[in-house]
Structure 1
């Protein structure tokens, strides 16, 4: 078992929470050539892989991801399951698929590097959606949520800057920056009780007055999208999730059974939903 501070995705998906599996299974499909075509919350509601424009290939990828989530499979298991199917259909390798008769670009092939990004991002989003539901359900006892980054040489500086920061569960910060906050993001959230806060001498931060709408570049052509940024008083810098992220996957995709929540927590969930 990993230590409390370790983030081992294979261990996480090996547990798999029912909420995470439900999140992934309830997604519909969206066909897109560019990842920018299916934006943020829409990505949480519809499964898509940029460059895959054939529904049968998209279905193959989704079914392989579902199996990995349900069975606690590794990246290698995922690739071994999917690669023969992609090879048979001509979608494995490098480069684009082009119609020889018309010259039309039909899609982009998949390779080990792209499969790793697809695997980690989709399973991390699904797992974190399940984690959010569980954590919100117990927020009366553990109302303080701590941002936890993996502090190694692969961690983005911006994500590193949030490591150890604590916000209450009902702070608007979590409606936009509950992990993952980017491609291959490995961050997570740990809950704390009032007793934990006192024992560990932790201080809660607040995003009040520090969230603002900004223009974020999303491609090399200079196109932008309106996103929410957090002006961090601890660093003096602006934190913005990677393009296409910046939403809470546990809120955007589906509605939990709020009857099992205490009234105050159900009310807070609805606030999250409005913010999404």
Structure 2
């Protein structure tokens, strides 16, 4: 836990989105898996597995995955990644329209790789990685910044239900963040920001909409929303497995989880499993040596 007397500069440095936590999350997803529908790997399963729907080549998955890790690690731009992946897919005969056979249904399905799809693949994976990294940083700094604020781009492209969450500011460990930690859908541009007690008590945020066009744009004060909004759950049927899951209304199926929190829980589960195995090994060794009955 950080020192409660951190200066603003020290906190800014600590919260700077250096990529290590994001890279750690990506590196943990080192199990390549061929899938034929986005529902084949659902929600928190993405913490350990990497896939691109209908790309039936594990070697290509590995190359694309390595490129995303390199980008988040600061070694490659999105433009460079897209250029390299397009060249790779062209060389392997996967650029443009292809047909693959779904092993579950036996159907021949079409898949297209073009610039728009590469952007979606890149943006989805990197935004999830940065969300996981931000969550882990926020956990380390919650002594000085115990709240999290939901922030939209506040423009005409924001989903109406996401706009209703703008400025929702709750304790970091509030259960609302279990499903509402952005991104909350495909191409979602929302983000979360840590907040200290002083700003929370002030009760509002300040912004200058249009400042990029008008240096004299007036400051707008927007009140914080300090109560979790209603969060009705809706049933979603995974068409691949038949499993019924509940997702908060306004969140795209597959995004109803907190990547950073899910990763932390997965690490705890792994540690507990190792401890249990170790405990059994110690007990077995003791029996073998006649140290216990």
* TM-score relative to the length of structure 1: 0.74
Q: Whole-Å Cα distance in 2 between the matches of residues 20 and 56 of structure 1?
A: 23
> Does the aligned pair in 1 maintain the 2:96–2:112 contact within 8 Å?
yes
Supply the distance in 2 between the matched residues of 1:44 and 1:92 (Cα, whole angstroms).
Answer: 27
Correspondent of 1:51 among 54, 58, 66: 54
- 1:227 is matched with 246
Distance 1:257 1:228 in 2: 24
1:135-174, aligned counterparts within 5 Å? 135-174=138-177
**Residue number in structure 1 paired with 2:290:** none
The corresponding residue for 1:18 is 20
Residues paired across the two proteins, number: 229
* Partner SS for 1:253: helix
Q: Distance in 2 between matches of 1:211 and 1:152?
A: 23
What is the CA distance between 1:25 and its match in structure 2?
1.0
Among candidates 204, 215, 223, match of residue 226 of structure 2: 204
SS in structure 2 opposite 1:96? strand
Partner of 1:243: 253
Q: How has the CA–CA distance of structure 1 residues 73 and 15 changed in structure 2, closer, same or farther, with 3 Å as cutoff? A: farther
User: Which of 84, 87, 90 does residue 93 from structure 2 map onto?
Assistant: 90
Q: Is the 8 A contact 1:121 1:184 kept in 2?
A: yes
Change in Cα spacing, 1:205 to 1:73, as seen in structure 2 (3 Å) is farther
Whether 1:74 aligns to 2:77 is yes
Question: 1:150/1:224 Cα in 2 relative to 1: closer, same or farther (>3 Å)?
Answer: farther
Instruction: Work out which of the two has the higher radius of gyration on C-alpha atoms and give 1 or 2.
Output: 2
CA RMSD of aligned residues (A): 2.8
Q: Structure 1 residues 92, 59: CA separation in 2 closer, same or farther (over 3 Å shift)?
A: same
Residue in 2 that maps onto 1:119:
122
Q: Distance in 1 between matches of 2:24 and 2:163?
A: 30
Q: Deviations over 1:146-184 (max 9, x none)?
A: 100112232222211111111111210111111111112
Q: Distance in 2 between matches of 1:190 and 1:146?
A: 5
* 2:272 aligned partner: none
CA deviation map 1:169-208 (0-9, x unaligned)? 121011111111111211111111221122244351136x
Residue 62 and residue 130 in structure 1: after superposition, are their counterparts in 2 closer, same or farther (change >3 A)? same
- The aligned residue for residue 214 of structure 1 is 234
Measured after TM superposition, the shift of residue 249 of structure 1 is 0.5
Of 113-122 and 181-190, deviating more is: 181-190
Q: What does the per-residue CA deviation read over 1:84-123, in whole Å, with 9 as the maximum and x for residues that have no partner? A: 111111111134357xxxx974873421111000000100
Contiguous gaps of at least 5 residues in structure 2: 1-15, 205-223, 269-293
Runs of 4+ in 1 over 6 A off after TM superposition: none
Q: What is the TM-score of this pair, normalised by structure 2?
A: 0.70
